[in-house]
Structure formats: structure tokens, C-alpha cells
Structure 1
Amino acid sequence: MQIRDLPHTDPGQPDVRSGFRFLVWLFRCQLGGQAKALGWGTLHMASIAALPVAVGSAISAVVDDSGRRLLVTGAFLVAIALVIAFADAMLHRSAVTNWITAAARVQQLLARQTAALGGVLTRRVAAGEVVKVSTGDVEKIGWFVESFSRFAAAVVVTVSVCAGLIWFEPQLGLLVAGGVAAVVLSVFPLLPTAIRRAEFERSKSGRATELASDTVAGLRVLRGIGGEELFLDRYRRASQEVRSASVRNARMWSLIDAVQVVMPGLLLIAVVWQGARLALDGRLGAGELVTVYGAVSFLLFPLRLFTEAAMAFTFSRPSARRAVRVLGLRREGREGGAEAARGGDAREAPRPGGDLTDPATGLRAARGRLTAVVCGAPDFAERLAERLGGHPVMPGDEASARLGGVALDEVPLAEARAAVLVQDKDPVLLSGTLAELLDVPSSGRVDAEAALRAAHCHDVLEALSRATRDGSRDPMRGMITERARSLSGGQRQRLALARSLITDPEVLVLDEPTSAVDAHTEAGIARGLRSLRAGRTTVVFTSSPLMLDQADEVVFVNDGAVAAVGSHRELLGTTPAYRAVVTRDTETVQLAEESA
């Protein structure tokens, strides 16, 4: 796998049973790249380990006054230097490739999961947590995958050097092998504390990110009510908690680094002392002593890689656990459909079509008609809108909606989304030009001009025509900022409605699509929606009389069940509870409650 081949054609199905199993799965997905990095890493470190042998041979040649041996040794040193440079470059190339491909695979998995879960994701995982997983955690997971091959190469070369020293001089070899084991083992008692502190720092950082995201998203509202200082104080406290946790975490890792300096230093002193004794006894020559000293000095290099691998594993495990927590989420009742969408179910799935019904409430939206739904409880309306999309999202939502008698949670995800589109109360508008915003999968029956006209976006187009970067005054080239914060709430709502209308699904479910616009604009949208969606099934959750008056049928849902069905004017005269919700008449509400 090369970087130019990214993104992955298929990132695969991850093992989400645990964070460790997920890391193993990632490693197995790129065995070829790991083998390359292991090979180049072994060649690189073996070449460095050969330097002390060449230097010792050169000293022995000088002592023996052998010019020929000195010349051969010099040529050998030049060859080693060239091999080290080449192997180092190839190792870096392979390692970085492994890092980037692993990180890209995780990001693709997260993107696919986000697309599959939709709005359900942020109901189960905090938005700040999702941001941290898709940024910092992805980087740490890629770091571990990249460092493992270099760690394995360091193990191979270290064992080989220790074995060579034992064969060359048993006393020194055993001393070096024992010292290396002591250096490595001295780190392990400190790792559990380091892991706990890293996890604590990570949780505090995620909380601070979540606060920052919420504050920025609601900054306009906060300024309106004078609450920005309150939220800024909360973020400052969270930021200081992150700083304190980071300092405690850094102290632990500085202690580990100190141990990694002291222990090898003691080993080096012991080897020099023992080697000097052997040289005084005549068992080692000057060149051989330099070779042993150089070999032990070389071992300090792979020992540092051991520490790096331990750090990478320490930081990547909690990151992998958090990634698995996101990747392991499933929509209730959606697993079978997801498998079928991936080709895991070879059976022909029934194609949905017909009336949209909700068995839990008894709601029925007739095919090809505009149905308005009024809910006595606003929170229930949001749940019901999600369920009409085939997604049980709350405990107790046992049955999904049915389209033409076919349960939507039994249909492949892509097919269900093509059949039913749900626009929630707070749709997200991505940054870019208006043309890019409206470039969505669609039937091709509704063009951008018709959708914008039906959504009453003339003032939005005028504002965007002044925001073109090339001065063309073409509103389709007008720039929309992140989450369209440069537009008003009503303008954002109408652009989102236009985007939904362009997709032209068989069933369109809108949750309060005109809550942020004035009455004149709302009346125009109601007429435009009825005209553009003629012959298509449309369900609108609203309590606006202007929208209700345009509906073919109005369904009143109260206490979790359909209470009345009819036209807007009929229900106003026959159903007091409906009249109470639509007119917002507190006296009528009280009378309706007493009657109930």
C-alpha cells in the first residue's frame, strides 16, 4: 500500500471487541508494509552495530602496523556509511507510510460510521469526544502501528548483538545481556501509572474540547443573553484542569526518561570497568575493548526505541478503546440492513414503497400526499421524526416505521435512505460555495433553482451574491462559512430545506422546517412545498397554522398515540387539545387537561 493509493478502496470490517484487538487488526491489515519496515529497520540498525567492529578492526590494524588491513577496514566503513544512509531513508519512508495508511484507515472507518449513524452518533457520544477520536486518537493509533516495526527490528538486532558478545567474551556478554534486561524491565513498573495519568489527561482534554465546541456553536445566543462570560469561565477552568493533568503526566514520563538515562549509564560504566580488567589481564586487546565499548554504546539506541514503543503502546491503547467505542455503535435493528448493504446478505431485499406508517403511534402518511403532524409534546416529535426514518433511537422504541408494509430497519441502509429522508430541527450546513452545498445525491427531477424558489431563498441568494470571491456576483459561487454562521437562523433553515428538496426522496420528513422564519416567508414556503412535492409523500412536523392549512391531512399525536385525524380547520373545531397546541392558548390547554 502506497500513500498515492489512498483513500482505501475498502477500509474493512474492524475487530471492535476491544482496543487491543483493534490494534492487532490494524497491524494485520498492513503486514506487507510492516515487513518492509522491519527489513529496512533491521538492515539500518545492523549496519550501525557493525560500526564498532570496523572501528575495533582499524585500531587493531594500527597497533599491528598493517596498512593493508587498515585500507580494507576504511573501505568497509565507507560501505557501512552508505548502507546506513540508504537504509535509514527507506526505513523512514516505510514507517511514515505505515503511519499514514493506518491513520487513513481509521479515519475512513470513523467517517463511514458517522455516515451510518447520522444524528444518532452525537446522542450516544459527546461531540467533543468524536472530535478527539477523529484527530488526536487517530494520530496516536497510527504512531503505535508505525513504531511497532521499528521496535521489532530493535529487538532482533539487540538479541543478535548480545548473542555475539556472549560468543566473543562470555563474561562481558552475560553482563551486557543482564544489563539490557534490567534497563528494559525497569520501565514496566512505571507504565501503569503513566497509562492512568495519560487516560486522565485525555478525559480532561475531551471535556475541554466539548465545552469549546458548544461555546462556539452557541456564541450568538450567548451574546444575546449575556452568558458568554459564564461559558468562558467554564472553559478556563476546564483548560486549567487539562494543564494540571498534562503536567502530572509529563512528570511521569520525565521520570521514565530519567530511568532510561541512568540505567544505561550504569550499564556502560560496568562494561567499561569489566572490559578494562580483562584488557589488563591480557584477555582483550585494545581494538577488541573498543569494539565491546562501541557495541554497548550502540545498544543505547535500540533501548530508546523500546521506550518509544512503550510510550506509543501506552497512549494508543486508550485511544483504540475510544475508537472502538465509536466504531462499535449500532443503530438498534439496523445491523441486518447494514450487512445487506455491504453485500453480506445475498437475499433480495423487498423494495419499500407506499404509505408510511408508524406501528407504535398508529400514524399513517398516505402516499403522494402532504401530511402534517402535530405533537402534544415537542420532544416526542423529534423522536417520532427519527423513527419515521427507520431508526429506533430511544429506549422503548421497539418498532421502526414501515413503508408500504416493509419495515425500514429490515431494508439495506442505502436503500432506506434513498426512500426516506429526515431533516431534523438543526440541520448542519457545511462550508463552501452554495453550488457545493446543493451538490447532493438526487433523483434529478428537482433542480437547484426550483428548490431555492420553493424554499423562499431569494434574500439568501442576494446575500450570497455579495460573498463571491471572484466578483462574479453569481450566488451559486457565494461562500458559506462554517455551519453558515454568517447567515441568520431563518436563512440557514431555508437553505437546508432547499437541499432536502433537491434530493427529491420518495418520502421527505421535515421537523419544524419554518420555526425560524416570519409569517410572510412561512406562508410562501408552505405554498412552495405543497407545489414542488405534489405527488410525493411529505410529512411535516409543525404547529404553525400557515403550514397546517396547506396540508392534505393533519394528524394530531398526543400521549404517544394518534388522537385525531382530519383537516386543520376540522380539528380546530372538534379537538380542544389540538386547538390548545396550535393556538398556544393557555386557557384552552387548562380546559383540555381538565377534560382529560
Structure 2
Amino acid sequence: MQIRDLPYADPGVADARSGPRFLLWLGRNQLGGQLKALAWGLLHFCGVAGLPLGVGRAVQAVVDRSGSALALAGALIILCGVAITLGDTMLHRTAVTNWITAAARVQQLLARKAAELGAALTRRVAAGEVVAVSTGDVEKIGWFVEALSRFAAAAITVVLVCVGLVLYVPELGVVVAVGVPVLALAVLPLLPRATRRADVQREKAGRATELASDTVAGLRVLRGIGGEELFLGRYRQASQEVRRAAVRSARMWALISAVQVLLPGLLLITVVWYGAGLAQDGRIEVGELVTVFSAVTLLMYPLRHFEEIAMAYSFSRPSAKRAARVLALRRTTEPSGVEYGRPSGDLYDPATGVLAPSGRFTAVVCGDPDAAGLLAERLGGHPAADPDGAASVLLGGVPLDELALDEARAAVLVQDKDPVLLSGTLQELLDVPSSGKVSAEDALKAAQCGDVLDALAQASVDTDGDGDGDPMRTRITERGRSLSGGQRQRLALARSLVTDPEVLVLDEPTSAVDSHTEARIAAGVKELRAGRTTVVFASSPLLLDRADRVVFVHDGDVAAVGVHRELLHGNAEYRAVVTRETEEEQLDGITAIGELAVLEEIEESA
């Protein structure tokens, strides 16, 4: 796999049973890249390990005054230099490729999971945790995958050098062969404690990220209620806990590094002291002593990768655990695999009894806004929003849960009460998968976006002196921050209308506009969606009066069905929700009469 081939056509199905299993699955799926990195790593480390032999041969050739032996030693050193250069260059390329491709695979898996679960994802996993997994955790997981092949090459090289020294200089080679494994394994007793401290640090950092993400998401609300200082204090406390945990973790890793310096130094002193005695007694040659000394010195380089892989694993394991937890989330009911085709007909929810007849404009009124949002998502076929044990929503008698995800999404589109606008031009915003039967112009007209188009055209002229003032080519900033709340809401509604789904579910689509604009939007949507099933969750009389059918849901069940004006006169609970009247007003019906007068006035003005 090369970087130019990204993204993956299919990132695969991850083994999300645990963090270590997920890491193993990632390494297995990049076996080709790992083998390449291993081969180049062996070339590089063997070149490094070959230098002591060349240096020792050169020293011995000078002692023996042999020109030919010195030339051969020089050739060997040059060959090792070429191997080191080529191996290091290609090892870096392949290792970085492994890191990037592993990170890209994880990000694709997370994006696919987010698309599968939709808005239900953040109710099952904290939004901050999703952010932490898709940013910092991806980097740490990629680090472990990248370091794995270099560690394997270093470990093989250490074994080969130890075996080679035993065969070349048995007297000193045995000392090295016994001492090097001790160096490699000496830090093992310290690793569990270091890993635990690293886990604590990662956990606290994840909590701080979640707190920061949630605070930023609700910043406007916090400013409105004066809660900025409270949350700022909480974040300061969380960040200080992260700092203290990081210091404790760093102390342990510093101790491990100190052990990695102390023990090799002791081994080097032992080799020099013992080897000098052997050379003095004539049992080994000076060149052989230089070879062993140089080999032990250079072995410190590959031995560092033992510490690196331990650090990489300790940091990536909690990250992989969090990623696996997100990737393990599933739709409550998997598609049955039965080919239903594109379903059509009445939309019916067995759990609440809500029925939206095919081709009709149905309004749903709920006293609890949160319950309305959950019911809207349930009607859209999001099983994560289902009550325990509730049957699936039916479209034309077909359970939405048994449809493939793309078919369910194409059949029913849900626009929640806080839709997001991505950055780009208005033309790009409205360039969405659709039936092709509704043009962008008709959708914008139905959503009453005339003043929005004028504002975008003016912005195009102001920002670009030679611009043609075409609103469709005017760029919209991220989340539509340059627009008002009502303008963003209407553009999002126009985008939903362009898709022209079989069933369109709208949750409070006009909460940010004035009453006259709301009345015109209700009329425009009803006209544009004629013959198509539309469900609107609202409590505004202006929308409810345009509906062909109004369903009143109370305490999770359908309490009344009819048209708005009949329910307004005949159902006290419905009237209380829609008009927000007091108990005294409920007794005399004054608010209801006033509401009807307003409706008639708006109808006349429209």
C-alpha cells in the first residue's frame, strides 16, 4: 500500500473486541508494508553492526602491517556505509508510509462508523471522546504500527550480532551474549508501572479533551447564562490533573531511560576490562578486542528500539481501546439481507402509534422537545434512539431496520433542529444526492431564501471587486457563521427539499424565523412536497394550521389526531402545549380564540 493509493477502497472490518486485538488486526492488514520495513531495517541495522568488524579488521591490519587486509577492511566499511545510508533512507520511507496508512485506515473506519450511527453516535459515546479518538489517538496508534517493524529488525540484528560475536571471539562473545539480553529485559519489571501511569495520563487527557469539546460546543449558551468562568475553572482543574499525571509518567520513563544508559555502560566497562586482560595474555588479538568493543557500543542503537516499542505500546494501547470501543458500536438491528427494493407508503411507528399517511403533510406535536427529537430520529430509522424492545418503524409495511443503511437513508431523510452547514459555495451546499425532480431554485423559493440570496450576492460583490454577484457561487463560511440563525435554518431546509426523499422528517424547521416568514415557508413546503410524505415536528400554530393531519403525542403515545383547529378547541392538553396558556386561560379559551384570529390575519396578508 502506497500513500498515493489512499483512501482505501475498503478499510475492512476491524477486530474491535479489545485494544490489543485491534492493534494486531491493523498490523496484520499491513503485512506487506511491515515486511518491507523489516527488510530495509535489517539492511540498515546489519550495516551498523558490520562497522565494528571493519574497524577491528582495519586495526589488526595496521598492527600486522598488511596493506591488502587494510584495503579489504576499508572496502567492508564502505559497503557498510552504503547499506546504512540506503537502509536508513528506505526504512524511513516505509515506516512513515506504514504510519500514515494505519492512521488513514483508522480514520476511515471511524468516519464509516459515524456515518452508520449518525446523530445517535454522540448519545452513546461522548463527543469529546470521538474527537480524541479521531485526532490524538489515531497518531499514537499509527506510531505503534510504524515502530513495530523497526523493533523487529532491531531484535533480529541484536540476536545475529550476539551469535556472530560468540563464533568470532568466543571468550568475549559469551559475555556479550549473556549481557545483552539482560540489558533488553532489565526494564520489564518497570514497564507495568510505567504503563499504568501512562494510562492514567491518557485517561485524564481524554477527559480534559471531552470537557473542552463540550464547552466549546456550548460556548454561546454559557455566555448567555454567565457560566464561562465556572467551566473555565473546571477546565483549569482538569488540565492541572493532566499535567501532574504527565509528570509522574515522565519520571517513570526517565528511570527506564536511566537504566538503559547505566546497564550498557556497566557491560561496556566489563568487556573492556576483561578483554584487555585477554589481549594482554595473548588469548585474543587487538583487532578482535576493538571489534567486540565497537559492537557493544553500536548495539546501544538497536537496543533503544526496545524502549521505544514499550513506550509506543503503552501509549497506543489505551488509544486502541478507545477506538475499539467506538468501532464496536452497532446498529441495534442489522439489515436482514432481504431485497425489498425502494419502499413507499405510510410511515408508521408501532412504539408510539404515530402514523404519517403516504403523500400527506403530517405535523407531530410533543410536549417534550427532547422526546420530539428522539421520535424524529426513530422515524428516520436510527435504532439507537429506540426504546428498549420497541419494534422497528415501518415504511409501507417494511421495517426500516431490515433495510440496508443506504436504502434506509435514501427512503427517509431527517433534518434535526440544529442542522450543520459545511463551508463552500451555495451551489456546493445544494449539490447533494437527490431524485433530480426538485431544482435548487424551487427549493430556495419554497424555503423563503430570497433575502439570503440577496445577502450572498452582496457579499460576493463586496469581497471580490470583479465578482458577478452570483449568490450560488458565493462562499459560505464553516457552519454558516457569517449568516444569521434564521438564514442558516432556511438554507438547511432548502438543502433537504432538494434531496426530495420519499419521506422527509423535519424537526422544528422554522424555530429561528419570524411568524410571517414561517407562514410562507409552511405554504411553500406543502406546495413543493405535494404528493410526497412530509412529517414536521413543531408546536407553532402557523405550521400546524397548514398540515393535512396533526398528531398529538403525550407521554410517549398518540393522544389525539385531527386538524389543528379542531384539536385547539377540543383537546385541552393539546391547546396547553401549542398556545402555552395558563390554567386560567385554559378555562375560558381566550388564548385559543386569539390564536385563530392571528392565523386568519396571516392568511389574509399572505
**TM bucket normalised to smaller:** over 0.9
For residues 82 and 371 of structure 1, do their structure 2 counterparts lie closer, same or farther at Cα, with a shift above 3 Å needed?
same
Instruction: Verify: 1:234 aligned to 2:230, yes or no.
Output: no
Task: For residues 110-153 of structure 1, give each alpha carbon's deviation from its aligned partner in whole angstroms, at most 9, with x where no partner exists.
Answer: 11111111101110111111111001111111111111111111
Quote the offset at 1:532 in angstroms. 1.1
Asked if 2 retains the 8 angstrom alpha-carbon contact of 1:577 and 1:589, the reply is no
For residues 247 and 476 of structure 1, do their structure 2 counterparts lie closer, same or farther at Cα, with a shift above 3 Å needed?
farther
Asked if 2 retains the 8 angstrom alpha-carbon contact of 1:144 and 1:313, the reply is yes
What corresponds to 2:597 in structure 1?
Answer: none
SS in structure 2 of the partner of residue 364 of structure 1: strand
SS in structure 2 of the partner of residue 119 of structure 1: helix
Asked if 2 retains the 8 angstrom alpha-carbon contact of 1:576 and 1:588, the reply is no
Quote the offset at 1:219 in angstroms. 2.6
Asked if 2 retains the 8 angstrom alpha-carbon contact of 1:577 and 1:588, the reply is no
Instruction: Verify: 1:414 aligned to 2:406, yes or no.
Output: yes
Instruction: Verify: 1:546 aligned to 2:546, yes or no.
Output: no
What corresponds to 1:55 in structure 2?
Answer: 55
Question: 1: distance between equivalents of 2:390 and 2:372?
Answer: 16
Question: 2: distance between equivalents of 1:146 and 1:380?
Answer: 47
What corresponds to 1:371 in structure 2?
Answer: 362
Return 435-444 or 533-542, whichever deviates more: 435-444
Which of 338, 353, 371 in structure 1 is aligned with 2:344? Answer: 353
SS in structure 1 of the partner of residue 335 of structure 2: helix
Question: 2: distance between equivalents of 1:217 and 1:332?
Answer: 28
Which of 390, 405, 408 in structure 2 is aligned with 1:398? Answer: 390
What corresponds to 2:596 in structure 1?
Answer: none
Question: 2: distance between equivalents of 1:321 and 1:18?
Answer: 6
What corresponds to 1:76 in structure 2?
Answer: 76
Quote the offset at 1:477 in angstroms. 2.8
Quote the offset at 1:466 in angstroms. 4.2
Quote the offset at 1:588 in angstroms. 6.6
Asked if 2 retains the 8 angstrom alpha-carbon contact of 1:446 and 1:502, the reply is yes
For residues 51 and 467 of structure 1, do their structure 2 counterparts lie closer, same or farther at Cα, with a shift above 3 Å needed?
farther
Quote the offset at 1:404 in angstroms. 0.3
Which of 415, 418, 421 in structure 2 is aligned with 1:426? Answer: 418
SS in structure 2 of the partner of residue 180 of structure 1: helix
Gaps of 5+ in 2: 589-606
What corresponds to 1:149 in structure 2?
Answer: 149
Asked if 1 retains the 8 angstrom alpha-carbon contact of 2:132 and 2:210, the reply is no
Quote the offset at 1:429 in angstroms. 1.9
**Counterpart of 2:349 in structure 1: which amino acid?**
D
What corresponds to 2:599 in structure 1?
Answer: none
Task: For residues 326-361 of structure 1, give each alpha carbon's deviation from its aligned partner in whole angstroms, at most 9, with x where no partner exists.
Answer: 00101211x235xxxxxxx4x524542100000111
**Counterpart of 1:358 in structure 2: which amino acid?**
D
Quote the offset at 1:217 in angstroms. 2.6
What corresponds to 1:436 in structure 2?
Answer: 428
For residues 378 and 105 of structure 1, do their structure 2 counterparts lie closer, same or farther at Cα, with a shift above 3 Å needed?
same
Asked if 1 retains the 8 angstrom alpha-carbon contact of 2:44 and 2:87, the reply is yes
Question: 1: distance between equivalents of 2:243 and 2:471?
Answer: 45
Question: 1: distance between equivalents of 2:94 and 2:285?
Answer: 40
What corresponds to 2:497 in structure 1?
Answer: 501
What corresponds to 1:534 in structure 2?
Answer: 530
What corresponds to 1:341 in structure 2?
Answer: none
**Counterpart of 1:336 in structure 2: which amino acid?**
P
Return 214-223 or 83-92, whichever deviates more: 214-223
Return 576-585 or 444-453, whichever deviates more: 444-453
Instruction: Verify: 1:65 aligned to 2:65, yes or no.
Output: yes
Gaps of 5+ in 1: 338-344
1:41-52 maps to which residues of 2 (within 5 A)? 41-52=41-52
What corresponds to 2:132 in structure 1?
Answer: 132
Question: 1: distance between equivalents of 2:453 and 2:236?
Answer: 39
**Counterpart of 1:224 in structure 2: which amino acid?**
G
Question: 1: distance between equivalents of 2:277 and 2:521?
Answer: 95
Task: For residues 244-287 of structure 1, give each alpha carbon's deviation from its aligned partner in whole angstroms, at most 9, with x where no partner exists.
Answer: 22222222212211111112111111111111121122111111
Question: 2: distance between equivalents of 1:427 and 1:190?
Answer: 50
Quote the offset at 1:479 in angstroms. 2.8
What corresponds to 1:295 in structure 2?
Answer: 295
* TM-score of the aligned structures, taking structure 1 as reference length: 0.94
Task: For residues 538-559 of structure 1, give each alpha carbon's deviation from its aligned partner in whole angstroms, at most 9, with x where no partner exists.
Answer: 0000010000011011111112
Question: 2: distance between equivalents of 1:400 and 1:548?
Answer: 27
What corresponds to 2:598 in structure 1?
Answer: none
SS in structure 1 of the partner of residue 89 of structure 2: helix
For residues 238 and 488 of structure 1, do their structure 2 counterparts lie closer, same or farther at Cα, with a shift above 3 Å needed?
farther
SS in structure 1 of the partner of residue 418 of structure 2: coil
What corresponds to 1:518 in structure 2?
Answer: 514
Instruction: Verify: 1:382 aligned to 2:378, yes or no.
Output: no
What corresponds to 2:595 in structure 1?
Answer: none
SS in structure 2 of the partner of residue 336 of structure 1: coil
Question: 2: distance between equivalents of 1:43 and 1:501?
Answer: 61
Quote the offset at 1:589 in angstroms. 8.9
Question: 2: distance between equivalents of 1:411 and 1:529?
Answer: 28
What corresponds to 1:2 in structure 2?
Answer: 2
1:547-566 maps to which residues of 2 (within 5 A)? 547-566=543-562
For residues 351 and 438 of structure 1, do their structure 2 counterparts lie closer, same or farther at Cα, with a shift above 3 Å needed?
closer
Question: 1: distance between equivalents of 2:309 and 2:103?
Answer: 17
SS in structure 2 of the partner of residue 329 of structure 1: coil
Question: 1: distance between equivalents of 2:250 and 2:453?
Answer: 52
SS in structure 1 of the partner of residue 504 of structure 2: strand
What corresponds to 2:327 in structure 1?
Answer: 327
Asked if 2 retains the 8 angstrom alpha-carbon contact of 1:466 and 1:478, the reply is no
What corresponds to 2:335 in structure 1?
Answer: 336
Return 215-224 or 554-563, whichever deviates more: 215-224
Quote the offset at 1:590 in angstroms. 7.6
Asked if 1 retains the 8 angstrom alpha-carbon contact of 2:378 and 2:386, the reply is no
**Counterpart of 1:454 in structure 2: which amino acid?**
A
* TM-score of the aligned structures, taking structure 2 as reference length: 0.93
Quote the offset at 1:48 in angstroms. 0.9
Question: 1: distance between equivalents of 2:7 and 2:506?
Answer: 34
Return 435-444 or 120-129, whichever deviates more: 435-444
Question: 2: distance between equivalents of 1:456 and 1:279?
Answer: 95
Question: 2: distance between equivalents of 1:454 and 1:232?
Answer: 43
Asked if 2 retains the 8 angstrom alpha-carbon contact of 1:493 and 1:514, the reply is yes
**Counterpart of 1:398 in structure 2: which amino acid?**
A
Asked if 2 retains the 8 angstrom alpha-carbon contact of 1:456 and 1:494, the reply is yes
For residues 591 and 558 of structure 1, do their structure 2 counterparts lie closer, same or farther at Cα, with a shift above 3 Å needed?
farther
Aligned-residue CA RMSD in angstroms?
1.8
Question: 2: distance between equivalents of 1:372 and 1:397?
Answer: 26
